[in-house]
Amino acid sequence: MSWAHAHIDELSKGNTVEFLFSGAGMDGAIEPGHLVTIEPIKKERRLRVGDVILCKVGRIYYLNKILDVYQGRYQIGNAKGRVKGWIPLSHAYGIVVKVSKPI
């Protein structure tokens, strides 16, 4: 089971989740050890370039940025600009609303 499944389950119930980030793909935006707060993506919320979301690209779950939007699909990549791929909205589970630096 992926690190993301429990978070996605909570987000699907309408709950906000928090966890300590441990990846390296968001260097400069979110560092390892930062507390990340993610809210469910509400239907009325419009996702934009620059938003950081919890999403699935292929079979892998990421906490990555939206790099581009085209015809209802979202290009996902890390803070260094590395493109992971394009996803439909159904593969976007939550949006980062707060990042707290470690104490």
* pLDDT by residue, tens only, the chain of 103 residues: 688 999 999 999 999 999 999 877 687 788 888 999 999 998 777 899 999 999 999 999 999 999 999 999 999 998 888 999 999 999 999 999 999 987 6
3 state DSSP class of 72: coil
pLDDT of residue 4: 93
CA 81, 86, 89, 93 dihedral sign is negative
Domain range annotation of the chain: 5-100
Q: pTM for the full model? A: 0.91
Q: Report the topology of domain 5-100.
A: Umud Fragment, subunit A (2.10.109)
42-67: b (≥16 Cβ within 10 Å) or e: eeeeeeeeebbbbbbbeeebbbbbbb
- Look at residues 87, 65, 92, 76 and name the one whose alpha carbon lies nearest to residue 7: 92
pLDDT at position 55 is 96
Query: How far apart are the C-alpha atoms of 68 and 7, rounded to whole Å?
Result: 25
